[in-house]
Amino acid sequence: MYRYMIVDVFTETPLAGNPVAVLLDATGLTTGQMQSIAVETHLSETTFVLPPQGAADVRVRIFTPTGELPFAGHPTLGTAVALAQSTARRTLIMETMVGDVEFTFDRTDDRAVSASMRQPVPVWEPYEHAATLAGGLGVSPAEPTVYAYRNGPRHVLFPVRDIEELSRLQPDLRVLSTLPDMSAFCFAGHGTHWRARMFSPAYGVAEDAATGSAAGPLAVHLARHGRIGYGKQIEIRQGVEMGRPSTMLATAWGHGDRFEAVEVAGAAVIVGRGEFLIEGAATSEPATVQPSLYR
């Protein structure tokens, strides 16, 4: 029996935000079984907690219904908050395929209710298929150059004119599905308040309610172009058009095109618990979250 939680991420309200399924101890599952479970949950991401291979506290693998991701924002933050319920620790270091990610928790009544993560600093380049993407979205970009940022996933930050235009978007997912290895992260706003929508048939997600791995790159992008100051926290609202409102907080520290750190923060709430019975798994022992997974 493999215990899991359903966590709504980047929200304090149950059944809002972006859900993730967290298998609390996936020891004994094969990669194929993990992928099948991700298809079974039918969520944008499912995570699998494992003992660390290095100096981190835990190792986490992240699967969409179509494949494994090296890193993602809302799944890792939701996993960290889920794991923090069984410990009084204020920090957690999570091993991912792009390196170790550190989390710091805010607690109420000894329970973690929100977390901040230090994300990998992204690299960026002009996006080579900007014209095709604009055609699929049905709008022209509001900036002369469209950039792709990579911090594990590849997010194409597509600026639109205003929030009204953002809300009206009805992308042709058939066109977007021809663009490999990318998500279209469309954004509008000003100052420290921004709205976003994300479309990614390539990652098996028609529209995402909260894309934490794109929140950090948006802060980097805005700082690079003088739209916000370095070290200035921004608020990003996403999922509004889906009826799953989410709030992400992002900060980028640096100067010019040099960045020292990127932080993304938000709340999460546990909305469900259950067990998977997986016949033929490599272990017959019940899977539980053990304190030994926390160094």
Token pair in block for residue 191: 């100052």
Q: Per-domain residue ranges for the chain?
A: 2-119+269-293, 123-258
Tell me, what DSSP letter sits at residue 138? T
CA of residue 26 relative to chain centroid, distance: 20
Q: What pLDDT is recorded for position 289?
A: 37
Q: What pLDDT is recorded for position 107?
A: 85
Q: Quick check: 103 pLDDT over 80?
A: yes
Do 210 and 223 form a contact (C-beta atoms < 8 A)? no
Per-residue pLDDT reduced to its tens digit, 14-63: 999 999 999 999 999 999 999 999 999 999 999 999 999 999 999 999 99
∠ Cα 34 287 119 (to 5°) = 55
- CA-closest candidate to residue 241, choices 184, 167, 188, 187: 167
Do 187 and 49 form a contact (C-beta atoms < 8 A)? no
Q: What pLDDT is recorded for position 108?
A: 83
Per-residue pLDDT reduced to its tens digit, 246-280: 999 999 999 988 999 999 999 999 999 999 999 87
DSSP 227-257: SS-TT--EEEEE-GGGT--EEEEEEEEEETT
Average pLDDT, the chain: 92
Contacts of 252 (CB under 8 A, 6+ apart): 216, 219, 220, 222, 223, 230, 231, 259, 261, 262, 263
What is the pTM (predicted TM-score) of this model?
0.90
CA distances from 70 to 147, 212, 216 (A): 20, 14, 16
Do 193 and 235 form a contact (C-beta atoms < 8 A)? yes
Q: Quick check: 290 pLDDT over 70?
A: no
Q: Quick check: 295 pLDDT over 50?
A: no
Tracing tokens 């938000």 back to the chain, one arrives at 266
Q: What pLDDT is recorded for position 282?
A: 59
Q: Quick check: 286 pLDDT over 70?
A: no
Q: Cα separation of 255 and 48, whole Å?
A: 36
Per-residue pLDDT reduced to its tens digit, 126-176: 999 999 999 999 999 999 999 999 999 999 999 999 999 999 999 999 999
Per-residue pLDDT reduced to its tens digit, 196-235: 999 999 888 899 999 999 999 999 999 999 999 999 999 9
Q: What pLDDT is recorded for position 280?
A: 72
Q: What beta strand segments (E) does the chain contain?
A: 2-9, 18-23, 46-50, 58-63, 68-69, 91-96, 99-108, 111-119, 123-126, 147-150, 154-159, 183-190, 193-200, 205-208, 234-238, 246-255, 258-276
Do 57 and 295 form a contact (C-beta atoms < 8 A)? yes
Percentage above 70 pLDDT, the chain? 94
Q: What pLDDT is recorded for position 256?
A: 86
Contacts of 211 (CB under 8 A, 6+ apart): 18, 73, 74, 155, 183, 185, 196, 198, 238
Beta strands 58-63 and 18-23, pairing class? unpaired
Q: What is the mean pLDDT of residues 112-132?
A: 95
Write the class of the CATH domain 2-119+269-293: alpha beta
Q: What pLDDT is recorded for position 145?
A: 98
| 123-258 shares the fold of 2-119+269-293 | yes
Percentage above 90 pLDDT, the chain? 86
Active site residues: 45
CA distances from 219 to 20, 38, 178, 235, 254 (A): 24, 30, 28, 10, 11
Q: What is the mean pLDDT of residues 285-292?
A: 37
What is the CATH architecture assignment of 123-258? Roll (3.10)
